[in-house]
Every structure is written in structure tokens, then in C-alpha cells.
Chains A and B, each alone.
Chain A
Amino acid sequence: MIELLVAISLATIITLLGVSLMRTGINSSVVNEEALVQSQAVRDARRLLEYAWSARQTNGFSGDQGQLEFISSQKALGTLPLRFACRPGEGGDYALWLYSASPTGRQGQPEEPPGEMLLGQLGECRFGFLQAPADAKQPAQWKEDWPAGQGPPALIRLDLASLRGALPPLILAADGP
């Protein structure tokens, strides 16, 4: 009788331990899966921005901390003004959106075109623009705004952070992809 009770107790402990380990393992697997999916999304968004930027036109460039607009001649994207925009989400996070045109609304007011969300659940999403100094001995300055009509800046950077922490910036050069 006692042996049976001991055996049942041992069996229960081992089973509970096994279930606990399995749950930890499955949770870890789910977290890994989510991390991989987000890594892939970040990689795709960066590649899309590089791809569009590699065929940009010299006119039609403007940007600020929350968005970057330029005209790309990539056939796959159409020769339209492209706008990569950081938008706040509902849960205090950010998302990176791509808008492919700036149509005019019925009353002549600018209307938000339909966009595609490239990345969601970002802790940070911000653009920066490097202004080349007139004197090469002066340090170049990163600026938060780049008004239209100035031509493209020397460098563009996109700072992103996932909910796990900051990611390396994507830096694009004016004279190369």
C-alpha cells in the first residue's frame, strides 16, 4: 500500500515536472517564432526601402522625423511619390507604413492614400537626414527635418526598435544604394 502511494506520488511529481518543462519549451518556441517573423519583416522593410531608394529621382524629396517621401523609378513600384511613414499604433507602439501615391481628395484637399503596413509593434520608428557641411572640416549634422526643394540629403537614417530593444539603424547614401 505504502509502495503504491509512493509510486503514485513520484509519478505525479514527474508528470508535473514534465508538463512544466514542456510548457516552458513551447513558450520559448513561440517567442522564437515571433522573433523570427519580426526579423523577417524588418529585413523585408529595409530591403524594400533600399530597393526603392536605389532608383530615386533627384526631385520630389522631402522628409521629417515621421516620414520620408521621394519618387522612385523602379518599374515594380511605379513612378509615383513613395512615402515611408512612421505612425503611432493603438497600444503606444509604432508602425512603418508605405504609401504609394498622394492623390487629391474630392474637395481638393489632400487625402490619406491607402497604405500598406510594412512593420508593426515597433518601440521606435524615426527618420534622420544628414546635411553635408559647406566646409569639409566642419562636422556634418543630423537633422530631423528636410524640407522639399533642397535635393536629397547626404545620408538618410531609419532608426527602429522592436519591443525587445533598439535595432541597428538603416543608413542610405545619396550617391549610392
Chain B
Amino acid sequence: MIETLVALTLLAAAAGFLMATLGASSRLVREVRENETALWLARSRLVEAAAYPDRSPPQDERPDRYEGVDYLTRIEYREVSPLPEIDLDKVARAFRLIEIRVLVRWGARPSTVQLTAYRKPGPEASVPAAPVK
């Protein structure tokens, strides 16, 4: 009788340990998928922004929902010098670059992904394409 109960208790403990392992594995898979989604989202937004830079981008965050998770994307533009010691006001336009920074944030905790790219400033500002619904 006691032996049976002890055996069952051990079995329950083993099952609990297995469940905890499977739960941790599920959580890890979910985190990897969310990270990958955020990275792809940031890459796409960066390509889009580099092709059509807006000199005065909206400062609010753009929401997207992928596979049941909400992502917030923020695109920042900044004029920079390729050489930090050069004063931007004193150099010609040819020596300036536009820094495009894309930040994607998601989750309650929250997690973030950030990508940065540089492009030459265009002669005139372009208007970014309207987002596809």
C-alpha cells in the first residue's frame, strides 16, 4: 500500500518535471518566433524607409499584429556626419548622411529589436507610401 503510494508520488513528480520542461520549451519557442517576427518586421520597415525617407516622420508608434502578438514600430531619421568630429553645420551636404533607425517593441515585458542604416540625403523629401491595409 505504502509502496504503491510512494511509487505514484514519484510518478507524479516525474510527470511534473516533464511538464515544466515542456512548458519551458514552449516558452522558448514562442520567444524565438516573436524575436524572428520582430526582426523581419524591422528589416522590412528599414528597407521601406531607406527607399522613401520622410524628413518629418510621425513620432507616434505604428501598431501591427502578427500571429496574435502586437508589435509597435517606430522609425527615426537623423542627419549625421560620417566622421563624428566634423561639425554638421560646417560641412557640405555631400558629407552628410541620414541615419534611419527602426525600433520594434512587443510583449508585456517588453522586448525590443533595433536596426540602423544610413543613406545619402536626397535632393528633396519623398513622401512614404501609404501602408497597405
Number of B interface residues in the complex (CB < 8 A): 43
Q: Summarize A's interface: helix, strand, loop or mixed.
A: mixed
Q: Is the CB of A39 within 8 A of B11?
A: no
Q: Does A172 contact B (CB under 8 A)?
A: yes
CB-nearest residue of chain A to B41: A168
Would you call B44 and A4 a contact (CB within 8 A)? no
Set of chain B residues within 8 Å of A164, measured between Cβ atoms:
67-68
Whether B26 and A140, one on each chain, are in contact in the complex, defined by CB atoms closer than 8 angstroms, is no
B127–A138 touching, CB < 8 Å: yes
Q: Is the CB of B132 within 8 A of A157?
A: yes
Contacts of B129 in A (CB 8 A): 130, 139-142, 155
Across chains A and B, the number of contacting residue pairs, with CB separation under 8 Å, is: 124
> Are A7 and B1 closer than 8 Å at their CB atoms?
yes
Within 8 A of B (CB), among A1-41: 3-4, 7, 10-11, 14-15, 17-18, 21-22, 24-26, 28-29, 32, 35-36, 39
Q: B105 to nearest A CB, angstroms?
A: 14
CB <8 Å contact, B128 and A170: no
- Interface magnitude class on chain A: 35 or more
Q: A133-B127, A171-B48 are in contact. List 17 more A-B contacts (CB 8 A).
A: A14-B8, A14-B11, A21-B19, A28-B22, A39-B32, A39-B33, A136-B125, A139-B130, A157-B44, A165-B66, A166-B65, A166-B67, A167-B37, A168-B66, A170-B44, A173-B51, A175-B51
Complex A-B: 24 CB contacts under 8 Å: A7-B5, A10-B8, A17-B12, A18-B15, A28-B26, A29-B26, A35-B29, A39-B33, A46-B40, A133-B127, A136-B126, A137-B125, A139-B127, A140-B126, A140-B128, A142-B132, A154-B52, A155-B51, A164-B67, A167-B37, A169-B44, A171-B43, A171-B44, A176-B50
